[in-house]
Every structure is written in structure tokens, then in C-alpha cells.
Chains A and B, each alone.
Chain A
Amino acid sequence: MENFNYHRPATVLAAAAMLKKSKDGKYMGGGHTLLPTMKQGLAAPTDIIDLTAIKNFGGIKVSKSIVTIKAGTTHMEVAASKDIKKAIPALAEMAGKIGGVHVRHKGTIGGSIANADPAADYPSACLGLGATIETNKRKIEADKFFTGMFETALKAGEIITAVHFPIPKKSAHQKFPNPASRYALTGVFLSQDGKGKVRVGVTGAAASAFRATEIEAALTKDFSAKSASSVKIAAKGLMSDMHATAAYRAHLVSVLAGRAAAAAK
């Protein structure tokens, strides 16, 4: 790991200014991707701007129709939130399955979403629930947010401040972990709103989280496990590696969607 300047700004404004001033600065939430890549010499930022000391950067607010999670909220706080457990139980469950205990106490929702790891869990929830991602500049729909492997619609210097999740009628999360890393080899987050409209967010299967629109259509028509699991997903465009072929990942999307449909509440 190379030496770097470490900053701990108290406001979003100050953080943005620091990044602008730095030669090759990086924002950091929990640091669970950034720090390992720095240790391996794959990243060598000149400045680390730690966002976790920003005042009021974390927190959970649940209204009648929206769950708002501020960017600095840890996975543990989401997993333990009584309000979220009541409003969107699958979201709390999913947060409780991210990484291990240490990771959940440090990792943040904003960091996870901004990093857009192809196997991260939160992107599937954002897509599966139709979330809106709020930054210091604007609001972005989840559907337009995840653009590629570790790529998002965020512009240089932009900071996620909160994520707004509409409360569905029912939802569920299913994850098939990579046997070694325990990241999602494939994960599915599914919801159905009051009008019967279904969204299915998928992570781990492709370079970027995506919506399984064929399964959404099938489930909107007939909300059942069989309806979801009998949709054949095309393997083309999905990832292939030593842990899973594209065909296996495609198969898992249908299997997990079926299980999620059965488990949805």
C-alpha cells in the first residue's frame, strides 16, 4: 500500500471540496473494497476522504410509503432496524446477510451502491424495489444508476446522500453465495407493489446488476414460484468464471426468483 493523505470532513460540502483539491482522491465509506485493492497495489489514491464522520450522514426514516436510508448507515443498522423489518422485511434480511459481522458493522449502503460491485447485494434491492438514489446534486432512479462493472451514473465528485425505497406489498431476497467468497454468485431481490406490478433485481450474474424483465412479466401475470422458475433466462451476456458458468448463473436466476416468489411477504 502506498502512502496517502487521510481526510475526515464534517460536511458533504467540505468532502466534495477536498476531492476536487486532491490529485487523485477517493471517497471512502466502509472501505471494504477500496482498502483491499489498495493493499494489493491495484489502487493508489493520493487522498482518502472518509465520509463516515460527516454529521447526520447516517440514519433511517420510514414514512407511510417510503423507507429512506441515509448513505452512511451501516448494514448492521439496516438489518437491526425494527421499522425496516416491518416495512420491507426482505431488505433488513438482505442487509443481515452481507459479508460477516465485521463487514456489517463498517460497511455502508452508500459505499456499496457507489462501488457497484457486480456481486454486491444492495444493487439488486435498489432495482428490485425501484429505489431512488439521492446525491448532493440530484436524484437518480435505480434503473438508470447501475451502468456497468463498478460503474454508475455518478459524476466525478458526486456523493450519494440517501436511498429512498418505495414500500412494496410484498418482497423477498434470495442469495446463492459463491462457495469461497460468500459474495452473491447470483442474488435475486423481488417485490410486488399494490397494483400487482413485479420488479426483479438480479446481482452477481452479470457485469452489472440488472432487472430480469421476463420474470417480472411472468410474475405480474401469475405470481407463483413455478411461474418464475419456469422462465428460461438467456446465458448470453452473463459472467463465466471458475465458480459458475453463464449457463449456471442463468439457471440460478430462475431458481432463486422462484424461491423468492414462494417466500415473498
Chain B
Amino acid sequence: MADTKTGIGASVRRKEDLRFITGKGNYTDDINLKDQTVGYFLRSPHAHAKIKSINTAKARKMDGVVGIFTGEDVAKDKLGGLICGWMIHSKDGSPMKAGPHPVLALDKVRFVGDQVALVVAETKEQARAAAQAIVVSYDVLPHVVDVAKAMKSKANVHDVAPDNRVFNWSLGNEADTNAAFAKAAHVTSMDIVNNRLIPNAMEPRAAIGSYDTGTESYTLYTTSQNPHVARLVISAFHGLAPEHKLRVIAPDVGGGFGSKIFIYGEEVACVWASKFIGGRPIKWTGERSESFLCDAHGRDHVTKAELAMDANGKITGMRVHTKAAMGAYLSTFSAAVPTYLYGTLLSGQYNIPNIYVEVDAIYTNTAPVDAYRGAGRPEATYVVERLVETAARELKMDPAEFRRKNFVTSFPHQTPVIMMYDAGDYGAALDKALDMSDYKNFASRKAESAKNGKLRGVGFSAYIEACGIAPSAAVGSLGAGVGLWESAEVRVNPIGTVEILTGSHSHGQGHETTFAQLVSERLGVDINNVLIVHGDTDKVQMGMGTYGSRSGAVGMTAISKALDKIEAKAKKIAAAVMESSVNDVEFKDGTFTIKGTDKKMGFGEVALASYLGHKFNTSEIELGLKESAFHDPSNFVFPAGVHICEVEVDVDTGLTKIASYTAVDDFGNLINPMIVEGQVQGGVAQGIGQALLEGAVYDEDSGQLLTGSFMDYNMPRAANMPHIENFQLGFTCTPCPSNPLGMKGCGEAGAIAAPPAVINAITHALGVRDIAMPATPLTVWTAMQSMKIAAE
């Protein structure tokens, strides 16, 4: 074992935080290149319109204007359009109907905020003034913003999809499921809405694109969670330049939550247009209002869901039909979210013999919808846990015991919807959560709340998620355009310090600390002597980036494999230098020893020896200490847990407060428990946000985004969280069998688990069957009015 203070399992303080919290981070907007210009995007004021003409004559003559680019310029240069990298086929076998998605709008705009022109000027003020002087003549078309109405709307977002339906996908066995329902002793049926969310990472999206006229190569600095994927797409699909002539750098990135996975038109336009202004760099930093309008949104599902049970309260079947909004265009991974990241998780933690799910993906005249923290799994968990809770109430069973009765208890477990759960102990998490939340004394707390005019309720959420998103061959067969592996390179310097080059990308997750902890554990090197290099396609050869809680289970496993090779080679060198057999070399706590002797060498000494080549035969053992590895997982990983939420609803105003929140999670082995706790707390905060506060609202009549700023879009604040004393975290551990570290993933769990826990608690408090998210004071009060729950 390494020094336990910095190895695996140690709650080491994050190495990167000092620079972040003292304003010394290096974000895209902090970078300024020589001769840099400023880009500004003119955007569509209409939800849906034909572009009749764009007159830029006056704008081009204005002070400071360097260039103006429109969709016609993009088309003339044959720059390819934005793509959706996951092909979904409808149940009739036809491929999804992907409409055109040009980098700058051509002929038509399809949502409020769609980018119409890029104006490049010396200053932002000049660029904005010129943009305002551009005259666009629009022919306004009918629009639709409501996913529930879009298939029958007059509005036609894309010609390829006359009924606005992108695909009609299904999973599971329909006939068997229908048979299970026909035989059911009880059926619980619900209409479930999963509200649209706007990610709002702290740092807005930004880009600096430049073209080197000497080397004829491009560089794009951008806020990306996966710079190599961005390079691949911009190179292979937009056709801007071959990969060796395109460098993508994602420096410090201030939060992503999924919204920075995708390749957006603005970033592509900036790097493309630089060539036409003599290679001068173009910087665009999104304003917050642009984040609201144009970053990919999350969720937005309307679902009919049914659960069948036998006379003993055993679940026998589940049937789900979902309408999933895709927005105006198919964003980079959008098609995967309501399908393979959603339908495959509908078994939850339960033994459900028959499941059938059908999903209509639908265009609307709104911002595109794509992965947002959890991506499909929160939507699945919300359906499952609302159904299960409601079924338990209808059967008059304790919701905890109803769940326990239906839990999967033996592993591996094959669900009817693709997934093979590898390990877990759901009952253990439930027991721990019941104990920590003092469930047995809920009634006395309820009575106490009632004395203060408050209705108290308790809600459960037993969630499961699939992270890692792999193996590559499996996702390829399901339509993924990429493999979902990860790469790592370990470079040991001659004095024994270590550089880790990883294809993962840290934008808040703490990789600089956790990845260094793995190195510290394995090589006995102090974490301060480990450098994590990421986010630059010229430094790291290839990688798939960070999303889907994959950087631990996939990214660190790649590092671990490369470390295996480092250790093996270092042993050979140590053996040669100490004139012993490699079989007698032992490596522990950073020291190589020879069995049965007092010979030893420190890791740093072996590193130095590896570069000197003085004391071993360099024709037998290659010089240097540098190894790389790719890791393709053999299965998804399956984090799971039980969250219990108690709420207090103010009878007078409908205001809901989280009285207590208990999260018990099984993430397998933890590298840094403190960082894991932070991830759970942050995820739960976002989940509480979805349940109580956040909801994107488009005006049906105008198609305008009504929640376009923090004045109307309610982001979670500290005061919306339970008091820290009532916000308890616990862990159970069944190590993941499919990776050597036994890790699962923790980044999304809170956002997946929390919404149904909160809504189950509110509906329990009010005695109503359902309440819409976000359960604002207005929504709750209105529900109480209609239920005639009077104050007195």
C-alpha cells in the first residue's frame, strides 16, 4: 500500500481548487491571441421562418467590421452541417429522419436563437452594432413548441419528417408484455411529464478559432467536455481540415453537465471563418442569455406508463410510451438519450419479466435537446419510481416493502431491456437508508410538522443507472458512431515525477486529484509529483472525453492498465541494475526490493536508470519509461442506491421545503470519498432543482423562451437545499466486477435519484396522485385548492 494519505480511498483535498477559487484558472475567455477579433452571432427572433433575404451591405461598411458570414457563405465553402452521431432506427426498420443542420442557418430558421449570421469586428460593441444593422427579411411560418402537440401541428420543422416525428423506436417484447397486462391483478397507470431543463454551467460556452496561414492548420480553443470528439467531427463531417491540421484545446472548463459534449455551430463557425479574415483569431464568448436560448436543453418527455402486478404484489410487466422532444435539430448525441440511455433502464432495481417501451422522438421549434446530467436515466428513473410508489399506495403496501419485494436479488441479472446487471445489493442500501432517515419514526415528525401548519411527506427513490456506456462493439451495434473506450499514457520523467495524459476531460470533477491518487497508490509517488494532462489534441493522442460518469470506470482503468506496463518495465530495469532475476523483484510503497537480499532501489532511481541506460543492456530493454493503454470495458457499470426525501409543505402558501434528504449509494470502490460526496450533493441539488424550481417555458403563441434569464428560470440556491445536518450521505459497496478498480460512477446519481424522491414526498404529503415538476408554490397551492385541502 502507498501512503494512505494520498492513495485510493483518501479524502484528499482537490489539488486544482486553489487556482480555481483564487481566480487563476485558465478558461477560454481568459485566453487572448495576437490580432484577435470578436465574433457576435445575429440570431433568429422567430420560432420558425423562411429567410427571404439577408442584406449585410450597410453592416459591412460599419466601423471595425472585419467580416460578416451567413449560411450562404458556409454553403459556398461546402462546410458540412452539424451531425447526430447516433443512428436510431424506427421499429419498422427505417432510419431516423435527420433534417439539415447547417452551421449558420440556410433558407430557414427553426427556433428563437438559431444563428443566422456571424459578425466579426475589432470589438464586441462594433460587432453587435453591425449585427443590428443587418436586415433579414423573414417569412414567418407556423411553429410548435409543445412536444405533446407537435405530431398533429400545422408546423413542419423539417421536410423529411412531415409529422415532425424523427423516429418511432421500441424495445422489449410487446406481445409478452400485453399478455402480462391481460393477466394482471392490478394495473397502475400514469401520465408522466419530465420537465425541460436548461443546463446553465457556470462558464458559458466560448470559442477562439484561428487559422495559421503558414502551416495551413486550424486551432480551436473551446469549452468542450471531449476535444478529440470535437476534432473528429469537425474534421470528418464538417470537412474543415484533416485531423493533423486541426488542433482542439479545451483548457479549464467551468462546468458542463452534458451541455458541452456537443459540437455546436458557433464554435465551428469561429474556427472556419478565421481563414477568410487572413487567419486572425475570432473569439466568441456566449452571453448568459445565449446559454439559455442555444445550449442544448435536457429532458422534455411526455409519457404514458403502466405497471402490471399479480395478486401478491409482484410486478409482472411494464408498458411505456414516451414522446421525447428533440428540439429543432438533432444535436450530437440526442438520438441516444431517449432510447438506449432511457428504455434500457426501465427495469430499475426490479425483477420485471416483461417490459415494452415505445418512444416517439419529435421535432419542436425549440432549442435542441440532448444529454444533461443523467441523460435518459433520470427520465427512466422518474417513470419507474413514480409508478412503483403509486402502485404501492394503490395496493396499500408500504412503499419500502413493495420495493423490497420486487428487488433483483441475484446477480448477474438479465433484464428484458438489454442490460445485464453485474453486481448490487439493493436491500442493503434500502436498509441503510431506512435506518439513517429514521423512517420508523416518520409519524411523530409528521405530527410535529402539522402543529406548525405544515404537511409532511416522505418519498423514496430506488434508482439504478448504467454508466461507462460500453463496450464499444455493443454501442456500435446499437447505432453509436464512435467507440466508447478511453486512452491513457503514463510518462515517467527521469527524476521520477509522473505525467498522465488522459483522454478524459475534467470540468469540475477533480481528475487532477483522483487520477493522481491512483498514481500515488500504484507507484508510491506523492500526488504533487503527478501532473494530469488533458484537453489538448496535440498532447493527448486520442480520447473520448468525460460524460456519463465514465472517467473513473473507463478513464482510470486505462491509466491503471498503462501503470501495469510501467510497473512491469520498471521491474525489468530494477532487476538488471541490481543484477537479479526479474522474478525476484518486489515493488511496494515506491521501492523495488530483491527477495532474500537487502538490495533496493527507489522508484525515482529506477526512472533515472531507465533514461541513463548505463546499467542495463539497451538492446534487450528499451530505454525510457513511458507506456500507453487503451481500455474498452466489457460491460456498463451499474451504480444504484436508495434516496429518501422528507418534505414540509406550507399549507398557506404551497411552499415546499426539503426537511431532510438521505442518500445511500453503491458506487463500488471509492477513490476519493470527499469528492464523491461532493458529486452526490451537487447531483441532488440539480435533482431538487428539477423537482421544485427549474423548468424551461416556451410561449405557445410566440414561440419565445419565457424563462430566458435567472429572473424567471429558477436555479437552485443554497437555501433550497436541506440543512446540512439533515442532508445525510451513506454508502454501500459491491465492487464492480468489470474493471480492476471495482469502480462504478458517481457523477450523475444525485440528479437521477432526487426528482422522484422529492415528488413522491410531496404527493405523499398532499395525498394527491401526481403533481407537476417543478412543484413551485403556485403549482402546489393550486393542487391543494383543487383537492380542497383547506388551511383550516
A243-B652 in contact (CB<8A):
no
A243-B776 in contact (CB<8A):
yes
A180-B706 in contact (CB<8A):
no
CA distance A31 to B715 in the complex (A): 24
Stretch at the interface among B376-384, B460-468, B756-764, B777-785: B777-785
Kindly provide the distance from the CB of B386 to the nearest chain A CB, expressed in whole angstroms: 23
Chain A interface size range: 10 to 19
- Confirm or deny: B138 has a beta carbon within 8 angstroms of a beta carbon on chain A: no
B706-A179 in contact (CB<8A):
no
CA distance A244 to B655 in the complex (A): 12
Given A242-B697, A252-B653, A180:B778 Cβ within 8 A: no
Q: Looking across the interface, which residue of chain A has its beta carbon closest to that of B706?
A: A242
Most A CB atoms within 10 A — which of B697, B713, B714, B777? Answer: B777
- Confirm or deny: B38 has a beta carbon within 8 angstroms of a beta carbon on chain A: no
Given A180-B714, A242-B706, A255:B778 Cβ within 8 A: no
- Confirm or deny: B712 has a beta carbon within 8 angstroms of a beta carbon on chain A: yes
List of A residues within 8 angstroms of B778 by Cβ: 243-245, 248
Q: Looking across the interface, which residue of chain A has its beta carbon closest to that of B774?
A: A179
Q: Looking across the interface, which residue of chain A has its beta carbon closest to that of B655?
A: A176
A179-B777 in contact (CB<8A):
yes
- Confirm or deny: B711 has a beta carbon within 8 angstroms of a beta carbon on chain A: yes
- Confirm or deny: B276 has a beta carbon within 8 angstroms of a beta carbon on chain A: no
- Confirm or deny: B562 has a beta carbon within 8 angstroms of a beta carbon on chain A: no
Given A242-B706, A245-B778, A252-B653, A179:B697 Cβ within 8 A: no
State the interface size on chain B (CB cutoff 8 A): 18
CA distance A248 to B782 in the complex (A): 8
Most B CB atoms within 10 A — which of A180, A229, A242, A243? Answer: A180
Of A179, A229, A245, the residue contacting B714 (CB under 8 A) is: A179
Kindly provide the distance from the CB of B762 to the nearest chain A CB, expressed in whole angstroms: 15
CA distance A176 to B778 in the complex (A): 12
B203-244 residues with Cβ-Cβ distance < 8 A to A are none
Q: Mark A226-243, 1 if CB is under 8 A from B, else 0.
A: 000100000000000011
List of B residues within 8 angstroms of A244 by Cβ: 778
Given A248-B778, A248-B781, A180:B653 Cβ within 8 A: no
- Confirm or deny: B693 has a beta carbon within 8 angstroms of a beta carbon on chain A: yes
A192-246 residues with Cβ-Cβ distance < 8 A to B are 229, 242-245
A242-B652 in contact (CB<8A):
no
B706-A181 in contact (CB<8A):
no
Of A242, A245, A252, the residue contacting B712 (CB under 8 A) is: A242
B781-A179 in contact (CB<8A):
no
A176-B693 in contact (CB<8A):
no
CA distance A229 to B652 in the complex (A): 10
CA distance A245 to B778 in the complex (A): 8
Q: Looking across the interface, which residue of chain B has its beta carbon closest to that of A254?
A: B652
B105-164 residues with Cβ-Cβ distance < 8 A to A are none
A179-B776 in contact (CB<8A):
yes
- Confirm or deny: B411 has a beta carbon within 8 angstroms of a beta carbon on chain A: no
List of B residues within 8 angstroms of A243 by Cβ: 712, 776, 778
CA distance A251 to B707 in the complex (A): 25
Kindly provide the distance from the CB of B273 to the nearest chain A CB, expressed in whole angstroms: 25
List of A residues within 8 angstroms of B781 by Cβ: 248, 251
Kindly provide the distance from the CB of A243 to the nearest chain B CB, expressed in whole angstroms: 6
Q: Looking across the interface, which residue of chain A has its beta carbon closest to that of B654?
A: A248
- Confirm or deny: B442 has a beta carbon within 8 angstroms of a beta carbon on chain A: no
CA distance A179 to B706 in the complex (A): 15
- Confirm or deny: B710 has a beta carbon within 8 angstroms of a beta carbon on chain A: yes
CA distance A243 to B777 in the complex (A): 9
CA distance A242 to B697 in the complex (A): 9
Kindly provide the distance from the CB of B705 to the nearest chain A CB, expressed in whole angstroms: 12
B693-A179 in contact (CB<8A):
yes
B710-A181 in contact (CB<8A):
yes
Of A181, A245, A255, the residue contacting B652 (CB under 8 A) is: A255
Q: Mark A167-187, 1 if CB is under 8 A from B, else 0.
A: 000000000100111000000
B641-672 residues with Cβ-Cβ distance < 8 A to A are 652-653, 655
B711-A176 in contact (CB<8A):
no
Q: Looking across the interface, which residue of chain A has its beta carbon closest to that of B713?
A: A180
Kindly provide the distance from the CB of B780 to the nearest chain A CB, expressed in whole angstroms: 10
List of B residues within 8 angstroms of A255 by Cβ: 652-653
List of A residues within 8 angstroms of B653 by Cβ: 176, 252, 255
CA distance A190 to B712 in the complex (A): 28
Q: Mark B694-714, 1 if CB is under 8 A from A, else 0.
A: 000100000000110011111
Kindly provide the distance from the CB of B9 to the nearest chain A CB, expressed in whole angstroms: 40
CA distance A117 to B713 in the complex (A): 20
List of B residues within 8 angstroms of A179 by Cβ: 693, 714, 776-777
List of A residues within 8 angstroms of B782 by Cβ: 245, 248
Kindly provide the distance from the CB of A94 to the nearest chain B CB, expressed in whole angstroms: 19
CA distance A245 to B776 in the complex (A): 12
Kindly provide the distance from the CB of A224 to the nearest chain B CB, expressed in whole angstroms: 15
List of B residues within 8 angstroms of A248 by Cβ: 777-778, 781-782
List of A residues within 8 angstroms of B706 by Cβ: 242
List of B residues within 8 angstroms of A180 by Cβ: 693, 707, 710-715
Q: Looking across the interface, which residue of chain B has its beta carbon closest to that of A244?
A: B778
Kindly provide the distance from the CB of B127 to the nearest chain A CB, expressed in whole angstroms: 14
CA distance A229 to B791 in the complex (A): 11
List of A residues within 8 angstroms of B697 by Cβ: 242
CA distance A212 to B385 in the complex (A): 45
Q: Looking across the interface, which residue of chain A has its beta carbon closest to that of B652?
A: A255
Most B CB atoms within 10 A — which of A179, A229, A242? Answer: A179
Kindly provide the distance from the CB of B586 to the nearest chain A CB, expressed in whole angstroms: 60
CA distance A242 to B777 in the complex (A): 11
Q: Mark A133-175, 1 if CB is under 8 A from B, else 0.
A: 0000000000000000000000000000000000000000000
Could you list 9 A-B pairs, sorted by A, with CB under 8 Å?
A179-B693, A179-B776, A180-B693, A180-B712, A180-B714, A181-B712, A244-B778, A248-B782, A252-B653
Give the 6 A-B CB pairs with smallest separation, nearest first: A180-B714, A181-B711, A255-B652, A179-B714, A180-B712, A244-B778
Known: A180-B693, A229-B652, A243-B776. 12 other contacts (CB 8 A): A179-B714, A180-B710, A180-B712, A180-B713, A180-B714, A180-B715, A181-B710, A181-B712, A242-B706, A242-B712, A248-B777, A252-B653
